[in-house]
């Protein structure tokens, strides 16, 4: 049975807000930089730096999805991919020597780390969109019974 109670709705809203925080902060600080610094700046590592917010929000969303019995696979899969890609990109950077500076930035190692990080950001966006859809589903009122 689907649970659309207030607690599940709050989990979905708080989870979505926390999961969206890293992407939104990256966009907001990038859009504000021309006004504050005089030129465009973007910290493309901010989604990883604020990754604990995203993870906390994703776990709340996963909890809400299991309570609501909706979008469990999509949210769970995206959370799994996000964690694996973030940890994997850091592991590749460490193993190849990029993290320590032993290997110069560039080459296939750098491209691999950037591609994994880009897919991590895509997974975060999928989590964000899934959270918005889950919250929308939870707040949507049930259709009226058919007359006839």
What are the sequence ranges of the domains in the chain?
Answer: 6-139
Inter-residue contact 82 to 58 (CB < 8 Å): yes
Average pLDDT score over residue span 84-113: 90
pLDDT tens column, 34-82: 888 888 888 888 999 999 999 999 999 999 999 998 899 999 999 999 9
Alpha-carbon span 136 to 126, nearest angstrom: 15
Assign 143 a pLDDT band (cuts: 50, 70, 90). low
Say what the pTM is.
0.85
Residue bearing the bigger pLDDT, 124 or 43 = 124
């Amino acid at each position: 049975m689907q649970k659309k109670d207030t607690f599940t709705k709050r989990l979905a809203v708080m989870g979505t807000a926390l999961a969206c925080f890293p992407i939104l902060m990256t966009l907001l600080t990038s859009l504000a930089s021309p006004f504050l610094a005089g030129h465009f700046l973007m910290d493309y590592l901010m989604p990883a730096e604020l990754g604990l917010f995203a993870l906390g929000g994703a776990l709340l969303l996963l909890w809400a999805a299991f309570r609501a019995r909706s979008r469990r696979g999509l949210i769970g899969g995206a959370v799994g991919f996000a964690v694996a890609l973030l940890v994997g990109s850091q592991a590749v950077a460490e193993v190849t020597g990029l993290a320590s500076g032993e290997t110069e930035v560039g080459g296939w190692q750098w491209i691999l780390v950037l591609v994994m990080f880009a897919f991590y950001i895509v997974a975060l966006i999928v989590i964000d969109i899934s959270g918005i859809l889950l919250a929308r589903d939870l707040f949507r009122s049930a259709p009226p019974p058919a007359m006839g």
